[in-house]
Amino acid sequence: MNRILTALLACFVLSISACREDDITGIVKRCNETNANLHSLTSKTIDLTGVTTEGGSITGYFNKKNNLVLATVASYGQSGRAVQDYYYDDDKVECIIRQDYTYNQPMYYTDAMATEDGDTSGHGGYDDAKTTLKTSRFYFYNGNMVKWYDTSNKLVPDNDRKYQFQAGMMLDEADKLQRMLQAR
């Protein structure tokens, strides 16, 4: 009898924890499934030439029901590039992954230029192998940000002043992207 009660209690606790708004395991699973199934999705791309220093693009991925499931924004500059993936479920953003790449030198800066400039630091010209990456992850539930992991992979507390500001900015951007891609 105790085993049955213990098993029922465990099932009850698990079912409650699976529904908690700050439990992101389901979101992570859906994002991974989207990435694994990109080949079966329809895509459309908007060119951002002239919007950033070196250009960029927005690519929307749509399921068979023509619902946006992923929007990828790539923007390029002389000193780095940024890639942001916006994952949607039922027309609501549920995850945003922002990757910021910083180049060791501007893309046009060659080893010859570094030598000519008298560079003795050993940095040399542009070298993609020396590019650094910082990633931030944002998770949403019912139109509210529930978790934010900063570039150090630390959880930002929801009472931090930056938290609500960042949440509003990211939600606005996600809505704007969704409208842009669905209008085309």
For residue 120, pLDDT over 50 is answered with yes
Q: What is the pTM of this model?
A: 0.80
- Starting at the edge strand found earlier in the chain, the sheet holding 92-102 runs 42-47, 56-62, 68-76, 80-89, 92-102, 132-141, 144-149
If one compares 11 and 30, the residue with the highest pLDDT of the two is: 30
Per-residue pLDDT of 20-73, as tens digits, reads 456 899 999 999 999 999 999 999 999 987 666 678 999 999 999 999 999 999
Torsions phi, psi of 30, nearest 5? -65, -40
Average pLDDT over the chain, rounded to an integer: 84
List C-alpha distances in Å: 44 to 57, 72, 124, 131.
Answer: 10, 11, 38, 29
The whole-number pLDDT of residue 183 equals 81
State how far Cα 91 lies from the chain centre.
17
What per-residue confidence (pLDDT) applies to 22?
63
